Amino acid sequence: MSAPAPPDDLQLPFFAYGLLKPTELGYHHVAALVSTAETASTTGARLCIRDGLPLLLNEPHGRVHGALLTPTSGKKDPFYQAIRGFEPARQYQGFSPVEVVTARGRRAANTLWARRPDRGTEQFEGSSWSSVDDPLLTEALGVVRRDAERLLGDVAKDRGTAHSPAVRALLPTRGDLPAAVDNYGTGRRVHRRT
């Protein structure tokens, strides 16, 4: 998978409106490289959805809410490399500057704009996207777990090994699930700083 080209100005913070926001599942990819994360918004834009993920479009009267991620001093290159490694080039035109508003005022930031928004996108009726509202992520994880438990339980019964350590190892308890799944939708951070 190719990555978007790096931004022209690495000194600018990044405006995240999707999976890289602090409350989202992808934030752990950049968390150790972020010094501050602030609530932010930009005008002149709106969101659309492709493949279940938000993309930013030009819209003169629109507004999009997200987070302004400022990289740690001396970590700007790795910060943008992490973003580029996470975000697929096929979804984005590349990085472009945008003006955002935070509690501290207006600032310039880099963000990623939709590539070919006329292909495979659907309207998004809101100004702030969250994976918590995505049925694939909220309901499908429970269905997968239930089906895996049922399947592995049936296999264990057929073999008379329902309580064997090998079967128990395949059926982790909730406490054994990754923090990103355990904390999903709770608003708690899903990463650990090292």
pLDDT at 176 over 70: no
- Looking at the fold, whether 72 and 143 belong to one and the same domain comes out as no
Judge if 36 and 113 occupy the same domain.
yes
85 with 172, same domain: the answer is no
124 and 167 housed in the same domain: no
pLDDT single digits (tens) 6-49:
788 989 999 999 999 999 989 999 999 999 999 999 999 999 89
- CATH of residue 116's domain is 3.10.490.10
Domain that holds residue 143: 139-182
Buried b (16+ CB within 10 A) or exposed e, 36-61: ebbebbbeebbbbbbeebbbbbeeee
**Are 111 and 147 members of one domain?**
no
* 123 and 174, same domain (yes or no): no
Q: Are residues 53 and 122 in the same domain?
A: yes
28 and 75 in one domain?
A: yes
Q: Kindly tell me if the per-residue pLDDT of 72 is higher than 80.
A: yes
The predicted structure's pLDDT at residue 160: 54
| pTM to 2 decimal places | 0.72
CA triple 38-43-47, angle to 5 deg: 85
- Average pLDDT of span 181-190: 46
